[in-house]
Chains A and B, each alone.
Chain A
Amino acid sequence: MPIILGQHLYKPDGQQQWTCLDQSRTIAWSAVNDDYCDCPDGSDEPGTSACPGTFFYCENKGHRPAYIKSWSVNDGVCGKESCCDGSDESNGLTQCPNQCKAVAAVYAKELAEKKKFVSEGFAIKQRWIKEAEEKIAQWKLERTGYEDDLVLKRGLLQRFQDEVTLLEKEEQAQSGDKKPTSHHKSEARKQQMAKLHDHIQQLREQVDTLVSILHDLKRDHNHNYHDMAVKAAISGYDEFLPGYDKLYEDLDQEPLPEEDDLDQDDADQEDVPESEGNPPPISASFWDSVTSRLEKWLPKRQESQNGAGFYFMGENRKQRPRNEQHSLFFFFSLVLVALQSARQQRDAIQSEINSLESNIKDVKGKIKADYGPEKEWLQLKDTCVEKDDGEYIYSLCILGRASQRSHKDSSNVHLGDFDGYVGGEGAKAYLEHTHLHGTRCWNGPERSVKAIFECGSETEILDVMEPEKCEYHFRVRSPAVCPSPESLDPPKAHVHEEL
């Protein structure tokens, strides 16, 4: 009977009987390890293959004790999944020599190597973690700066907006028959629309021609020819067609406006603002208020903008226009200029605000993003590594884009952008990265990458596989996933898979 870990559990009682470890049955002591499974939990046969789903204990003198699956006992297989002392093969199917000494030597060497690179990698990872913290602290400062600025700019915006609102009101009140160009405009639009219409028609016809070519290809090709390019074209066509037809349905339901419609549109527009007769006269008090408001900013603008209207402004600001007709036109011009200017001012501030907001969003995003439990991935973000497999050069930018470059034609194919961590639960959660939505394959799905990380002293792609069409697996080494070197200290015995 082989030696069993927890041997104290395997002792007969006074009646030479023994109770299964789950306490479900008591059996004769002679039935323990007699190559017949008596206990429902399989605990009576730790030294045979009789109970499925249990483990066999290898003493492995000269190396480390181990448990192997009971299905490996007496199955004629030596080697990695068996005991290095050969104790699991005893029925004559095969004889496994005791290789524990050699295995122990290899194991010691590998362990030493592993310890070395794990230590190195772990040190790098610690540095990265520190750097990441600093970087994030810096981002937080940046964010505060942006936010303060934003408050300021929003105040300004409000002021300019008020200005614009007032001027717009006045402009609206004063506009009389201000649409001398409306007829020309509508003519131009008509022409433009017609041109576009023609262009669309032309494109439609061209697409229809292509669709009918593809239809013929699909109908007439020899599918047994297994030409991947043809298959790809056909499947592309099949995918394209429903969407294309839908597009047409939508377009056909909303027909392009005809010329009459255009005229009508313009006429409608003209109807609304146009009032009968002359505009109302301008009062003196209003004039004063406008000019005074304009004064505040008009001088600044004179240098850069050379409008005729501005000329009068400086010299004759207190003068009232000589006759109503003339003065009305002049005034209207002034209002327009002021409005334009105020709008520009407002828009400039708005765009500054927008860019601040986007900066804040960006930096918030960066701060909030998941860089791993200790933010160890941050320093690696957008670090790109490459692997040349002879046919292609694969490139992986960590938390970024993966791509593939062909040696043959140096074409570059997008394999996917970082989408998330899919390693699993707990510590394993960050060991696998997916990159999705790469360029669609011929006759296949969008390309995607699963990058599977293991500890190493530097970041590098070990190998690339394409286990199914357009789904790439990158095996990658990086300090980012190195465990603490202490974790390598072995437990007393181990189940084989976890070596």
Chain B
Amino acid sequence: MPFSSRQRIHLYLLGLLLFGSLASAMKTEDFKTCSQSGFCQRNRLYADDAAALGDAFRSPYAVDADSLHLSLEDTAHITADIINKNADKRFTMALTFLQDNTVRVQMNEKDPLHPRFDAHAAHTLVKAPVAQAPQAVDRTQDNQVTMILDASRKVIVTLEPVKVDFLVNDASVITLNDRGFFNFEHLRTKESHKPKMIQQQNDDGTLEDVQHAAEDTMWEETFKSWTDPKPNGPESIALDISFNGFSHVYGIPEHASTLSLKETRGGDNAYTEPYRLYNTDVFEYALDSPTSLYGAIPFMTAHRKDLSAGIFWMNPSETWIDIVKTKSSKNSLAKLLDFGKKEVTTTQTHWMSEAGVLDLFVFLGPTAKDVLRQYTSLTGTPALPQQFAIGYHQCRWNYINQKDVLEVDQKFDEFEMPYDVIWLDIEYTVEKKYFTWDNTKFPDPIAMEKQLDDKGRQLVAIVDPHIKRADDFPVFEVANKDHYFVQKPTGGDYEGWCWPGQSSWPDFFDPKVCQWWQSLFAFDKFVGTRENVHIWHDMNEPSIFNGPEITMQKEMIHHGNWEHRNLHNLYGLLSFAATSEGVRTRTKVPKRPFVLSRSFYAGAQRYGAVWTGDNMADWDSLAMSMPMILSSGLGGMPFNGADVPGFFGNPGPELLARWYQTGVFQPFFRGHAHIDTKRREPYLVDEPYRSITRKALRTRYALLPYWYTLFYDAFKTGTPMMRPMFMEFPQEEQIFAMEDQFMVGDSILVKPITTEQTTSTDVYFPGEQPWYDLETYQPIYHHGYRTVDAPLEKIPAYYRGGRIIPRRERPRRSSAAMALDPFTLMIALDKKSNAEGTLYLDDGESYDYEAGTFAHTHFVYNKGILTCDSLHADGASAGAQAFAKKMSSVRVERLVLMGTHRQPNRVQLLTKQTTLDLAFSYHEAVSSLEIRDPAVSVVECDWTIRFDF
């Protein structure tokens, strides 16, 4: 019976009641589940079939022993053919042994129908990996080859079925094809393809041969109204990787998920979908979900008490990762080698990519920092940003005109809130034609930028990769004429819908398109910009409003006739790189570019910052910012931040204040707001929230010297600025999954308040050393959880005992204004009354540091003596000398010793020329000592300060 209209409405209302809370949330049906993505479904079925067979299952892939070739001395790799016995297909395998505990494993079809895509490595890897031969090879075992890398590390290749084990101290820590899910879909023609048949029992009991479910998606697949023609048929690659004895794995950003990744095949607190890596613009994304977001980095780290190890699955096509954890591993080797009596958890992962070749790196740590160093030595370390980029950024969709921009700028000064950068979203353009200015709103952008520059401030303007198809738009005309756009399979520009309406997308996979794109940022091309203008590059997943999953159809064609499906996740990286390079080279002497991208892939850390996209102004999103940024850092992309105080919706003043307090301790710190929201610049909130927010902003600025040093360390080593607790305290198992508190560098612990109406919180104090309250200097001698007060004005944050942290205390309007301000050294004593720390300084904008124009100073407090020494490799170089001269007037104006239980008799400054008594004051209640104005240099270490207790 058809419903009457009234009945229908009641049904709708019922629906609204049931699903009302989702009314404004993510539309999950717009995005594929694994079962809607053909290759994911096929490989999950493969895994399920294998699991169903249990011990009877045997992987059909085996190394052809005759083909085994070792060329270890020169190129340090072994090659062999692998045969798929079921399909009678040959594959090539290559293991390359690299410096720094790294091994590369590559597999490809031996004689493919046509080449498979592997051209992405050049965009992902920063340089050719450096080989390092194993110490020895052992072929005495029948079915295996053993490479001895060094005293504690080995790689064992089992020939049949093929399996690779990575051993540390004779225990396998990582196993490839442990469960036999390795599945390499070889290229084939539809005509030659023999569908896999299975027997099916009909209702009447008869048996019938029917096609296996995996056959459904081989040659075409349909999602919603889009049909992917899949001209190459099936071409996926899958492999299972076990992390033996590890109960925690991390990384593979970007997901709004937990720091310690969840299981994905059901069960308690587990997802039922795999983690997905497929760059997409998800509107109001769901929290606690394995669905893909704007960025994709297929790099995973596993950690346990004694060891960290990692995997980089270098493949930019759509990728899914299943994770399960098993107690008392089935891994025979692990059993054999025995982890002791206690039950052991092993994390088993299953990686599935749609196309390309298998190319993975195994990093054997042994620490999480080592794994990141190993990964970033391949994909590049995070770029050292300009100083201003780590200050506070003020954005809104949209500051509506020139006057608006300058008024907001003025208000920050009026309310004495520091900020460095004001941002323009898409509305500054003429009809979203990037590189143009709407002159009715911005009659004289150069004058506006000059005015900001006079205060040491910057402007960021948005330039997205979608190009409006408009004949009066020169950028479009050139790209159209010269065929710079991604093409349709049938030829002609691909067209889609985005902000400007009908648009096309430059093919950044084409080097000449990148050249052209870079040239557009020249000051005479992007008229109305000058040196203090930087770029925001959004929507580069690419976001296409009328495309499947809000992005580009996979059959579209890139340079070299490659289908988009091969390199989808790379697109954002390529456009980010081209934009960053354009900004870098627009001046005669290149300056460090600042570009913020929304999409990213492995290697994006070389080009600038990213953010967590369009989040919500609610408490849960504030809490989610922590695992998201931490995971990003574990993906080698540490310069990340969440929009403060949430993009969509209007935050209350408490949420706003708490979010600012959190943002202070996250690497990229930007206020942003959706166009439909109320204005919420931090000076607009009422007291006491305004003062609380001002205090938070000033805390950020006071810590800029420390932050900048951390960015330098990241640039040198790949260690993220914002770190998960386990990275600093790898032995404390109870904090392996901790994501609601974190470390800034190795010296500051932060536990942001992310719940409403909170006045106290439980902070976990790890390690054996004391901690000191950031504000009161009150020492905390405690290991484990302790409840601390956290009223609205308080951010629970602590200095770590044993560290020296540089600060600049003078409130200023911007970071540029602080350039010559004096320093305060916070000396947080450990139990033995020792401490040390570093400070990196340079001009904050140029590449002169490459020529040694910087200072890198190491402060040591030991047995009552404070000294420093330079970490500069070539302190005598002209660059170092020039910088030292520039900094000659910059002094240390204050020392704060925390955790000293006695008042000294005297404190003396000793230099070559003189000995001087320094004034000091002792605060017994908190055991801290303040030394007045020693006036020593932070660059020239020609002084000693002696404390006589």
| CB under 8 Å from chain B, chain A span 32-48 | 34-36, 38
B416: A residues at CB distance < 8 A? 53, 69, 71
Given B454, B456, B889, which contacts A91 in the complex, CB threshold below 8 Å? B889
Interface residue A319 (Cβ < 8 Å from any Cβ of B): no
Rank and list the top 6 A-B pairs by shortest CB-CB distance, nearest first: A75-B817, A208-B5, A224-B550, A225-B545, A36-B933, A52-B811
Given A36, A208, A212, A226, which contacts B932 in the complex, CB threshold below 8 Å? A36
Contact of A71 with B8 in the complex, beta carbons under 8 Å: no
Contact of B400 with A238 in the complex, beta carbons under 8 Å: no
Complex Cα distance, B810 from A91, in Å, reads 15
B679: A residues at CB distance < 8 A? 467-468
**18 additional A-B residue pairs with CB within 8 Å, beyond A75-B456, A465-B404:** A71-B813, A75-B817, A75-B818, A76-B819, A205-B5, A211-B9, A211-B12, A212-B5, A215-B9, A215-B12, A223-B27, A224-B27, A224-B545, A444-B676, A466-B400, A467-B404, A468-B677, A469-B675
Name the residue on A nearest B26 (C-beta).
Answer: A223
Complex Cα distance, B6 from A245, in Å, reads 10
What are 25 sample pairs from A and B whose C-beta atoms fall under 8 A apart? A34-B933, A35-B822, A36-B893, A36-B894, A49-B821, A53-B811, A71-B813, A72-B813, A75-B817, A76-B816, A77-B456, A77-B813, A77-B817, A81-B413, A92-B820, A93-B820, A205-B5, A212-B12, A223-B30, A226-B499, A238-B23, A245-B9, A245-B13, A465-B401, A468-B678
Known: A35-B893, A36-B932. A93 touches B819 (CB 8 A): yes
Chain B positions 637 through 680: 1 when the CB is less than 8 Å from some CB of chain A, otherwise 0: 00000000000000000000000000000000000000111110
A223: B residues at CB distance < 8 A? 27, 30, 283
Interface residue A79 (Cβ < 8 Å from any Cβ of B): yes
Known: A52-B811, A467-B404, A469-B676. A224 touches B283 (CB 8 A): yes
Complex Cα distance, B5 from A184, in Å, reads 37
Interface residue B51 (Cβ < 8 Å from any Cβ of A): no
Contact of B403 with A463 in the complex, beta carbons under 8 Å: yes
Interface residue B153 (Cβ < 8 Å from any Cβ of A): no
B13: A residues at CB distance < 8 A? 241, 245
Interface residue A222 (Cβ < 8 Å from any Cβ of B): yes
Interface residue A497 (Cβ < 8 Å from any Cβ of B): yes
Complex Cα distance, B822 from A78, in Å, reads 20
Given A38, A49, A225, A241, which contacts B810 in the complex, CB threshold below 8 Å? A49
Please give the number of chain B residues whose Cβ is less than 8 angstroms from any Cβ of chain A in the complex.
Answer: 51
Contact of A465 with B400 in the complex, beta carbons under 8 Å: yes
Contact of B812 with A71 in the complex, beta carbons under 8 Å: yes
Contact of B283 with A91 in the complex, beta carbons under 8 Å: no
Chain A positions 434 through 477: 1 when the CB is less than 8 Å from some CB of chain B, otherwise 0: 00000000011000000000000000000101111100000000
Complex Cα distance, B932 from A224, in Å, reads 59
Complex Cα distance, B894 from A469, in Å, reads 48
Interface residue B143 (Cβ < 8 Å from any Cβ of A): no
Interface residue A74 (Cβ < 8 Å from any Cβ of B): yes
Chain A positions 224 through 248: 1 when the CB is less than 8 Å from some CB of chain B, otherwise 0: 1110000000000010010001000
Q: Taking the nearest CB of chain B, how far is it from the CB of A403, in angstroms?
A: 20
Complex Cα distance, B679 from A444, in Å, reads 14
Q: Taking the nearest CB of chain A, how far is it from the CB of B223, in angstroms?
A: 13
A465: B residues at CB distance < 8 A? 400-401, 403-404
A209: B residues at CB distance < 8 A? 5
Name the residue on B nearest A231 (C-beta).
Answer: B676
Interface residue A390 (Cβ < 8 Å from any Cβ of B): yes
A391: B residues at CB distance < 8 A? 440
B889: A residues at CB distance < 8 A? 91-92
Complex Cα distance, B30 from A79, in Å, reads 54
Q: Taking the nearest CB of chain B, how far is it from the CB of A210, in angstroms?
A: 10
Interface residue A50 (Cβ < 8 Å from any Cβ of B): yes
Name the residue on A nearest B932 (C-beta).
Answer: A36
Interface residue B546 (Cβ < 8 Å from any Cβ of A): yes
B residues with CB within 8 A of A: 5-6, 8-9, 12-13, 16, 23, 27, 30, 281, 283, 400-401, 403-404, 413-414, 416, 440, 454-456, 497, 499, 543, 545-546, 550, 675-679, 809-813, 816-822, 889, 893-894, 932-933
Given A50, A75, A205, A389, which contacts B813 in the complex, CB threshold below 8 Å? A75
Q: Taking the nearest CB of chain A, how far is it from the CB of B166, in angstroms?
A: 42
Complex Cα distance, B625 from A445, in Å, reads 29
A91: B residues at CB distance < 8 A? 820, 889
Complex Cα distance, B455 from A78, in Å, reads 8
| CB under 8 Å from chain B, chain A span 376-412 | 389-391
Task: Identify the interface centre among B5, B6, B283, B403: most chain A CB within 10 Å of its CB.
Answer: B5
Complex Cα distance, B676 from A444, in Å, reads 7
Question: Is chain B's binding surface mostly helix, strand, loop or mixed?
Answer: loop
Total A-B Cβ pairs within 8 A = 108
Task: Identify the interface centre among A204, A241, A468: most chain B CB within 10 Å of its CB.
Answer: A468
Q: Taking the nearest CB of chain B, how far is it from the CB of A264, in angstroms?
A: 28
B16: A residues at CB distance < 8 A? 241
Q: Taking the nearest CB of chain B, how far is it from the CB of A140, in angstroms?
A: 42
A74: B residues at CB distance < 8 A? 820-821
Complex Cα distance, B348 from A416, in Å, reads 63
A238: B residues at CB distance < 8 A? 23
Contact of B812 with A75 in the complex, beta carbons under 8 Å: yes
Complex Cα distance, B894 from A50, in Å, reads 12
B821: A residues at CB distance < 8 A? 49, 74
Name the residue on B nearest A390 (C-beta).
Answer: B440
B23: A residues at CB distance < 8 A? 238
A36: B residues at CB distance < 8 A? 893-894, 932-933
Contact of B456 with A76 in the complex, beta carbons under 8 Å: yes
Name the residue on A nearest B545 (C-beta).
Answer: A225
Contact of B810 with A50 in the complex, beta carbons under 8 Å: yes
Task: Identify the interface centre among A36, A91, A389, A467: most chain B CB within 10 Å of its CB.
Answer: A467
A222: B residues at CB distance < 8 A? 30, 545-546
A205: B residues at CB distance < 8 A? 5
Name the residue on A nearest B676 (C-beta).
Answer: A469
Task: Identify the interface centre among A38, A52, A53, A497: most chain B CB within 10 Å of its CB.
Answer: A52
Complex Cα distance, B404 from A468, in Å, reads 11
Contact of B546 with A225 in the complex, beta carbons under 8 Å: yes
A76: B residues at CB distance < 8 A? 456, 816-817, 819
Name the residue on B nearest A74 (C-beta).
Answer: B820
Given B27, B400, B499, B812, which contacts A467 in the complex, CB threshold below 8 Å? B400
Known: A92-B889, A224-B283. A77 touches B454 (CB 8 A): yes
Q: Taking the nearest CB of chain A, how far is it from the CB of B94, in angstroms?
A: 42
Name the residue on B nearest A210 (C-beta).
Answer: B5
A444: B residues at CB distance < 8 A? 676
Name the residue on B nearest A212 (C-beta).
Answer: B8
Complex Cα distance, B9 from A211, in Å, reads 8
Task: Identify the interface centre among A69, A78, A463: most chain B CB within 10 Å of its CB.
Answer: A69
Complex Cα distance, B440 from A38, in Å, reads 51
Known: A35-B893, A224-B281, A226-B499. A208 touches B819 (CB 8 A): no
A241: B residues at CB distance < 8 A? 13, 16
Q: Taking the nearest CB of chain B, how far is it from the CB of A496, in angstroms?
A: 10
Task: Identify the interface centre among B13, B456, B810, B820: most chain A CB within 10 Å of its CB.
Answer: B810
Given A52, A208, A463, A466, which contacts B9 in the complex, CB threshold below 8 Å? A208
Contact of B933 with A226 in the complex, beta carbons under 8 Å: no
A72: B residues at CB distance < 8 A? 813
Contact of A225 with B9 in the complex, beta carbons under 8 Å: no
Complex Cα distance, B930 from A36, in Å, reads 13
A71: B residues at CB distance < 8 A? 416, 810-813, 817
A463: B residues at CB distance < 8 A? 403
B810: A residues at CB distance < 8 A? 49-50, 52, 71
Q: Taking the nearest CB of chain B, how far is it from the CB of A312, in angstroms?
A: 61
A81: B residues at CB distance < 8 A? 413
Task: Identify the interface centre among A75, A78, A389: most chain B CB within 10 Å of its CB.
Answer: A75
Contact of B813 with A208 in the complex, beta carbons under 8 Å: no
Contact of B497 with A225 in the complex, beta carbons under 8 Å: yes
Q: Taking the nearest CB of chain A, how far is it from the CB of B65, in angstroms?
A: 53
Q: Taking the nearest CB of chain B, how far is it from the CB of A203, in angstroms?
A: 12
Task: Identify the interface centre among A49, A76, A241: most chain B CB within 10 Å of its CB.
Answer: A76
